[in-house]
Chain A
Amino acid sequence: MSPPVTSGNRLASHPMMQLVLSRMREFWRQPAAVFWVYGFPLLMMVALGTAFRNRPVDKIPVTIVNTSEAPAILKILQQDERFVGPGGEVEILSPEECKQQLRTGKTLLIISANTSPGADYTFTYDPERPGSLSARNTINDLLQKAGGRRDPLSVSNNEVREPGGRYIDFLVPGLLGMGLMGGGMWGVGFAIVNLRIRKLLKRYLATPMRRSHFLGSMMISRLLFTVTEVLILVLGARWLFGVVNHGSFLAVALLVILGACQFGGMGLLIASRAETTETVSGLMNLVMLPMWIGSGVFYSVERFPAVLQMVLNALPLTPLIYSLRSVMQDGASLLSLLPQIGLISLWTIVTFALAMRWFRWQ
Chain B
Amino acid sequence: METPAIHCRELTKTYAGRPPVEAVRGIDMTVAEGECFGVLGPNGAGKTTTIEILEGLLDQTSGEVEILGMQWRHAAESIRESIGISLQETRFSDKLSVLETLNLFRSFYRHGITVSEAIERVGLEDKAQAWVKNLSGGQQQRLAVAAAIVGDPRLLFLDEPTTGLDPQSRRQLWDIIRRYGAQGRSVLLTTHYMEEAEQLCDRVAIIDRGKIIALGSPRELIARLGGEHVIEFTLTPNATTLNQSENDWTQVNHVTGSVYEDGCHRLTVTQPHLVIPQILSHVEQAGVQLGSLTTRHARLEDVFVQLTGRHLDDTPEVPA
CB distance from B45 to the nearest CB of A (A): 20
Q: If the complex has contacts A26-B95, A198-B90, are A206 and B56 also in contact, measured as CB distance less than 8 A?
A: yes
- B57 beta carbon closer than 8 Å to chain A: yes
Are the C-beta atoms of B100 and A25 separated by less than 8 Å?
yes
Q: Which of A14-22, A68-76, A97-105, A277-285 contacts B (4 or more CB under 8 A)?
A: A14-22
Within A203-225, the residues touching B (CB, 8 Å) are: 203-209
Say whether B96 faces chain A, with CB atoms less than 8 Å apart: yes
With A13-B106, A26-B96 known to touch, is A205 a contact of B114 (CB < 8 Å)?
no
Neighbour of A362 across the interface among B57, B106, B109, CB < 8 A? B57
Interface membership of A137, Cβ < 8 A: no
Cβ contacts A to B, 13 pairs, < 8 Å: A4-B116, A18-B103, A25-B96, A29-B131, A198-B90, A203-B87, A206-B83, A206-B87, A207-B80, A208-B80, A208-B108, A208-B110, A209-B108
User: A200 to B106, Cβ gap below 8 A?
Assistant: no
Given contacts A14-B107, A204-B108, A207-B109, contact A30 B90 (CB under 8 A): no
B201 to chain A, nearest CB (A): 22
Shortest distance from the beta carbon of A214 to any chain B beta carbon, whole Å: 10
Across the A-B interface, the 3 shortest Cβ-Cβ residue pairs: A18-B107, A29-B95, A198-B91
- Docked CA distance A206–B110 (Å): 14
Residues on A with C-beta less than 8 A from B129 are: 1
Chain B residue at minimum C-beta to C-beta distance from A15: B107
- Answer yes or no: B81 CB below 8 A from chain A CBs: yes
Residues of A with C-beta under 8 A to B57? 202, 205-206, 362
Taking the complex as formed, is A231 at the interface, i.e. its CB lies under 8 A from any CB of chain B? Answer: no
Other 17 A-B pairs with CB < 8 A, given A2-B99, A4-B99, A205-B57: A1-B97, A1-B99, A4-B114, A15-B107, A17-B107, A21-B100, A25-B95, A26-B95, A202-B90, A203-B87, A204-B108, A206-B55, A206-B83, A207-B151, A208-B80, A208-B109, A209-B108
In contact, A4 and B115 (Cβ under 8 angstroms): yes
B52: min CB distance to chain A, Å: 9
In-complex Cβ contact of B115 among A1, A5, A14, A29 (8 A):
A5
Chain A 118-141, CB-CB to B under 8 Å as 1, else 0, gives 000000000000000000000000
Cβ distance B189 to chain A, nearest Cβ, rounded Å: 15
| Min CB–CB distance B59 → chain A (angstroms) | 11
Q: Is A13's CB under 8 angstroms from B100's CB?
A: no
Q: Which of A30, A205, A207, A209 has the most chain B CB atoms inside 10 A of its CB?
A: A207
One digit per residue, 1 when the CB lies within 8 angstroms of any chain B CB and 0 when it does not, for chain A 169-202 equals 0000000000000000000000000000011101
Q: How far is the CA of A22 from the CA of B115 in the complex (A)?
A: 16
User: Nearest residue in B to A361 (C-beta to C-beta)?
Assistant: B57
B292, chain A: closest CB distance, angstroms: 45
Judge whether A207 and B105 touch: CB under 8 Å. yes
CB contacts (< 8 Å) of B81 on chain A: these are: 208
Contacts of A79 in B (CB 8 A): none
Main secondary structure of the interface of A (DSSP, over half): loop
Verify if B166 is at the interface (C-beta below 8 Å from A).
no
B41-79, CB under 8 A of A: which get 1 and which 0?
A: 000000000000001110000000000000000000100
Distance A19 CA – B101 CA, assembled complex (angstroms): 10
- The interface residues of chain B lying within 8 Å CB-to-CB of A158 are none
Is the CB of B92 closer than 8 A to any CB of chain A? Answer: yes
The smallest C-beta distance from B160 to any residue of chain A, in angstroms, reads 13
Contact with B along A298-340 (1 / 0, CB 8 A): 0000000000000000000000000000000000000000000
Interface centre among A5, A25, A29 (most CB of B within 10 A): A5
With an 8 A cutoff between CB atoms, is A6 at the interface? yes
Q: Which of A17, A19, A202 contacts B87 (CB 8 A)?
A: A202
Q: Are B93 and A22 in contact (CB under 8 A)?
A: yes
Is B158 positioned at the interface, with any CB of A under 8 Å from its CB?
no
Do residues A199 and B87 form an inter-chain contact, with CB atoms below 8 A? yes
Query: What separation, in Å, do the CA atoms of A22 and B131 have in the docked complex?
Result: 12
A213 to B, closest residue via Cβ: B108
Q: Residue on B with the closest CB to A209?
A: B108
Task: Say how far B277's CB is from chain A's closest CB, in angstroms.
Answer: 56
Task: Please tell me if B85 contacts chain A, counting CB pairs below 8 Å.
Answer: yes
Report yes or no: A200 in contact with B90, Cβ–Cβ below 8 A. yes
Q: How far is the CB of B126 from the nearest CB of chain A, in Å?
A: 15
Q: Counting chain B CB atoms within 10 Å of each CB, which of A4, A21, A202, A204 scores highest?
A: A4
What chain B residues lie within 8 Å of A1 (beta carbons)? 97, 99-100, 129
Q: Which of chain A's residues have a CB closer than 8 A to the CB of B293? A: none
Q: What is the minimal beta-carbon distance from A204 to any residue of chain B, in angstroms?
A: 7
Question: Considering the chains assembled together, what is the distance between the CA atoms of A258 and B198 in angstroms?
Answer: 59
Q: Is the CB of A4 within 8 A of B109?
A: no
CB distance from A213 to the nearest CB of B (A): 8
- Which residues of A lie under 8 Å from residue B55 when comparing CB positions? 206
Complex Cα gap A315–B91 (Å): 37
Note all chain A residues with C-beta closer than 8 A to B213.
Answer: none
Cα distance A18–B107 in the bound complex, in angstroms? 7
Task: Tell me which residues across on chain A come within 8 A of B80, comparing CB atoms.
Answer: 206-208
A205 to B87, CA, bound (A): 11
Q: Which of A30, A200, A205, A206 contacts B91 (CB 8 A)?
A: A200
Q: Is A13 a contact partner of B92 (Cβ separation < 8 A)?
A: no
**B90: which A residues are within 8 A, CB to CB?**
198-200, 202-203
Cα distance A18–B116 when bound, in Å? 16
Shortest distance between the CB of B101 and any CB in chain A (Å)? 8
Separation of A5 and B100 alpha carbons in the complex (Å): 9
Q: Establish whether residues B109 and A5, one from each chain, have CB atoms under 8 Å apart when the complex forms.
A: no
Q: Let me know if A26 and B93 touch, CB within 8 A.
A: yes
Q: How many angstroms from the CA of A205 to the CA of B85 in the assembled complex? A: 10
Q: List residues of chain B with CB within 8 A of the CB of A4.
A: 99, 103, 114-116
Cβ of A197 to closest chain B Cβ, rounded Å: 8
Bound form: Cα–Cα A1–B101 in Å: 12
